[in-house]
Structure 1
Amino acid sequence: MKSRYFNFLFSLFLTLYFGPEGKAQSTIQYDIILEGGRVMDPETKLDAIRNVGILNGRIAMISSEPLQGKETVNVSGLAVSPGFIDLHVHGRSNIEQEFQLHDGVTTALELEWGIENLKEWYASRNSKALINYGASVSWPYERFKAINKDEKILDELRGLSSSGLSSLSAMQDRIQHTYTIDIQSNQMSSVLENIKASLAEGGIGIGVPIGYLPSTKPEEMYQVFKLAGELNALVFTHVRQPDIISIQEVIADAMLTDAPLHIVHINSMSLGSIDMALDMVNSAQQNKFDITTELYPYTAASTRLQSAMFTEGWQQRLGMSYGDLQWVDTGERLTKETFEAYRKTGGMVIMHMMKPEWIQRGIAAPGVMIGSDGMPYSKLAHPRTAGTFSRVLGKYVREDQVLDLNTAIEKMTLIPAKRLEAIAPMMRFKGRIQVGADADITVFDPNTIIDKATFEKGLEFSEGIEYVLVNGTFVLKNGKTVSNVFPGQGVYGKFKK
């Protein structure tokens, strides 16, 4: 990656000095100029009015002096930030990506569950994505493959992994139905080999959502963490249950195996014990363990009603009742009768289970990243699918003043980029407004930015995001999606062959 950076700087020097035709010159015509905006780089702490020159998909100049460009856009009065990086999404198509780019996201990664058949999935998105994409290895799927040797079933699942959302849900349900099956020693070896093979296809670490396979034996989990420690492969985990003991389980496994660990949505995993959970993560970091976490800025969670999360005893485990569940297809609150009926047919449900003060404390905590856990598209899907980042900047920065603008941007850009650099080296060029960085840029109005999606009315584009560039190409201009451009690139793990 260093050579890529220096090669870019050297080519930029040659162009600046000699020009495209080899003639010496002191100025250059950039592809795009963002003129007069408040440029905010969380790594160098730059926060000043500057002009940004973009050339060949990269940031080539940041200057207080006028710049010449083929296209100049006046962004005075607006913040010019690195594009937001979302480590936790579940939508796999441009339908979800359009909502994400209207929320300022330039890189959206499926790292909790991961994606099945990674090689085929990456190929299916090549030159078709609005924003950058990538995924982890799906431990549930690699486990399923080790248990099920029926090639007909595996071929069917290969076809489902890149197809429609209803097929995707059916596939994940089939995988989850094996969660009560104990792994045999020979099968465990196959699981580990499957994981290594998928890492070689580009997987960004290992997705280990134990919470959807909660009967998995601790011994099996330990073996997965042990492999991650040996490879220095980052583990992304939804813990076994929403409680402190489950958070302790994964932290202990990570410490014992030296596996890098990222705990997803710590707000919904710790609930009222969020202070203790954050303290444990912070203590692990102070003791030099590579452990991080994230949260989303809403008081409700969302998942499939047919999942193992709702097996007998769910009310006590989650501290919820039927009326706290909202059926996505209709927006209705459930009763005992509708719960039982809908659990048989299957579908998405929103779980109203958290208090506002828990979210505030989590957002304010140093080092905690923002991740949306954005769901597959449905009109009444959880609003985090469309509004996570704008909500942080509008509600928690401007309105509630839980944190300042610079800190919020850092949590959305630099911190997630740096979290992934060891496992996905190209992230070194993202999350920054610096010469040589990828021109993934979000331009927004700090005075108006806000989420518009709601639990009652469904998904809606956020407000206040004016321009978004991905790899130097506009995908959003004047708040409108640019048609027929697909500059999103695949983000791959370091093991890719």
Structure 2
Amino acid sequence: MRNTFLILFLTLSLNAFGQSTFQYDIVLEGGRVIDPETELDAIKNVGIINGRIAMISSDPLSGKETVNVSGMVVAPGFIDLHVHGMSNVEQEYQLHDGVTTALELEWGIEHTGAWYASRQGNALIHYGASVCWPFERMKALASYQDGVDELLDLVQEKKYARQSFFHIASPSFTEDLTSEESDRTLTNIKSALGEGAIGIGVPIGYLPDTKPAEMYSVFELAGQIDALIYTHNRQPSILSLQEVIADATLTGAPLHIVHINSMSLGQIDFALNMVSAAAQKGFDITTELYPYTAASTGLMTAMFNEGWQERLGIDYGDLQLVATGERLTKETFARHRRTNQYVIMHMMQPEWIARGIAAPGVIIGSDGMPYSKLAHPRTAGTFSRVLGKYVREDQVLDLNTAIEKMTLLPAKRLEGIAPMMRFKGRIQVGADADITVFDPNSIIDKATFEGGLEFSEGIAYVLVNGTFVLKNGKTVSNVFPGQGVYGRFKK
């Protein structure tokens, strides 16, 4: 807050005494500045001081470092609410895709406080996570305490991987909780919120045998304390969508439904209409999607319990092994499931994705996976794909609307639970200098299902907290300006 007042004071001083003799830390000169909140879309110069935007002006500005960005768009840094790869390996791909804040909100992170501490001073871009409900649920079961300690060791040693969690915790997913264990789960959730978690991740789709009453109790807690819930629905179906909407409306819990494209498949129009209707009636419910026709997860998960072909509308040949790129058969499916290999699931149609991207109010989120040579391309290309394919090539939506879906909408979605997001997602005086500069005529994703991950093209500069992490399309070495984004319950 002190920095904000300083910026406002400097701005008033500059307006009073002129700008010609004042020197900013960085000036971005001559770019097309787009701010979705104020609807600014004009050629301007942007002055940055101490990690904040201090001036937006048509007049020349003097900077210790001045970068000519004429012909390029100067936009707020993209905000990704849904990523699973949280190390600097994945963050480098993300920053080449224009992302300045990447958050693990669907699943959350185990041992929240220890994980935040492990990332301090060592992150390329901003990071944060929700409470991991499956983990806090496991912690409530006395027989899993050794696993709880083992996961803490992995987090502290910076060797944590989602595979480790599934190996340790997945047996607990099918156990029913006693009333005492359910109470302990809720206590655990509140404790993790106190460590800075940004709301509650409820990926019920990976624990589909959980009794509805147990899930409802988590929504009740969220409604009581106004904590945002992020849910991966119980099944890819309208009935599962109706379940979480009903729980949210009855308890008053704010709700964000992740990847509605893979949760509704061919019924995406119906699903989007329900979310929109709930919002219009005053319920705090939002959703997101990623711009690809395939999903990705581990073979050991409940997603592939008996009947998966009918539920998902696909068969063995629609599954692509991440490790090798091969398509599976009945025999290879059984073999690889025993070791929980990750697969890409080709299960959606292009027209479903286009309609979802065009729908008003729908946020763009990558669901980016942990690094693998042939990982799902959304890990590296989500935001550039929207701007290159869906804006420039297919004209599904206009540039300003696309930027809003990647910046202002996710920032506003989180402001209630993470107040620092009020200063992100905007190009305004006093806002954080998290900025992405790109060429609208060349930006495009380069990662593919066949070739694996590759940096996106057309992102020229990325600043995080007023520090360049990408310059002339190249990663800047040995700078780690990313900071933790914390929820308001942090003690």
One-letter amino acid of the counterpart of residue 188, structure 2: N
Q: State whether structure 2 residue 164 is matched by structure 1 residue 173.
A: no
Please give the residue correspondences for 1:200-239 in structure 2 after superposition, counting only pairs within 5 Å: 200-239=194-233
Q: 2:265 aligns with which of 242, 263, 271?
A: 271
State TM-score, norm by structure 2. Answer: 0.98
Please give the residue correspondences for 1:286-435 in structure 2 after superposition, counting only pairs within 5 Å: 286-435=280-429
Q: 2:109 aligns with which of 111, 115, 128?
A: 115
> SS of the residue aligned with 2:320?
strand
Query: What's the CA shift for 1:7?
Result: 4.6
Q: Is the 8 A contact 2:7 2:54 kept in 1?
A: no
Q: Is the 8 A contact 1:165 1:376 kept in 2?
A: no
The 3 A distance-change label for structure 1 pair 162 and 171 is: farther
Q: Is the 8 A contact 1:82 1:440 kept in 2?
A: yes
- 2:103 and 2:395 mapped to 1: Cα distance? 28
Cα deviations by residue, 1:20-66 (Å, 9 ceiling, x for unpaired)? xxxx9863100000000000000000000000000000000000000
One-letter amino acid of the counterpart of residue 286, structure 1: Q
- 1:161 and 1:242 mapped to 2: Cα distance? 31
- 1:308 and 1:50 mapped to 2: Cα distance? 51
Q: Percent identity?
A: 74
Q: Is the 8 A contact 2:138 2:144 kept in 1?
A: no
Query: What's the CA shift for 1:153?
Result: 2.7
- Aligned residue pairs total 491
- 1:251 and 1:4 mapped to 2: Cα distance? 39
Bigger mean CA deviation after superposition, 206-215 or 171-180: 171-180
The 3 A distance-change label for structure 1 pair 201 and 464 is: same
In structure 2, stretches of 5+ residues that fail to align are none
Query: What's the CA shift for 1:174?
Result: 2.4
Q: Which consecutive segments of 4 or more residues in structure 1 shift more than 6 A?
A: 15-18
The 3 A distance-change label for structure 1 pair 286 and 16 is: closer
Cα deviations by residue, 1:356-393 (Å, 9 ceiling, x for unpaired)? 00000000000000000000000100000000000000
Q: Quote the residue 2:475 is aligned against.
A: 481
- 2:38 and 2:19 mapped to 1: Cα distance? 29
Query: What's the CA shift for 1:14?
Result: 5.8
Cα deviations by residue, 1:297-351 (Å, 9 ceiling, x for unpaired)? 0000000111111011111111110000000000000000000000012211000
In structure 1, stretches of 5+ residues that fail to align are 19-23
Q: Is the 8 A contact 1:254 1:261 kept in 2?
A: yes
> Aligned Cα RMSD in Å?
1.5
- 1:464 and 1:173 mapped to 2: Cα distance? 40
Q: Is the 8 A contact 2:321 2:342 kept in 1?
A: yes
Q: Quote the residue 2:486 is aligned against.
A: 492
Query: What's the CA shift for 1:493?
Result: 0.1
One-letter amino acid of the counterpart of residue 243, structure 1: S
Q: Quote the residue 1:84 is aligned against.
A: 78
Cα deviations by residue, 1:448-467 (Å, 9 ceiling, x for unpaired)? 00000000000000000000
One-letter amino acid of the counterpart of residue 480, structure 2: F
One-letter amino acid of the counterpart of residue 139, structure 1: W
One-letter amino acid of the counterpart of residue 377, structure 2: P
Q: Quote the residue 1:145 is aligned against.
A: 139
Q: Quote the residue 2:27 is aligned against.
A: 33
- 2:383 and 2:38 mapped to 1: Cα distance? 22
Q: Quote the residue 1:5 is aligned against.
A: 4
Q: Is the 8 A contact 2:11 2:55 kept in 1?
A: no
> SS of the residue aligned with 1:475?
strand
The 3 A distance-change label for structure 1 pair 161 and 247 is: farther
Q: Is the 8 A contact 1:160 1:168 kept in 2?
A: no
Q: State whether structure 2 residue 445 is matched by structure 1 residue 451.
A: yes
- 1:151 and 1:317 mapped to 2: Cα distance? 35
Q: Quote the residue 2:120 is aligned against.
A: 126
Query: What's the CA shift for 1:93?
Result: 0.5
Q: Is the 8 A contact 1:161 1:168 kept in 2?
A: no
Please give the residue correspondences for 1:154-169 in structure 2 after superposition, counting only pairs within 5 Å: 154-161=148-155, 167-169=161-163
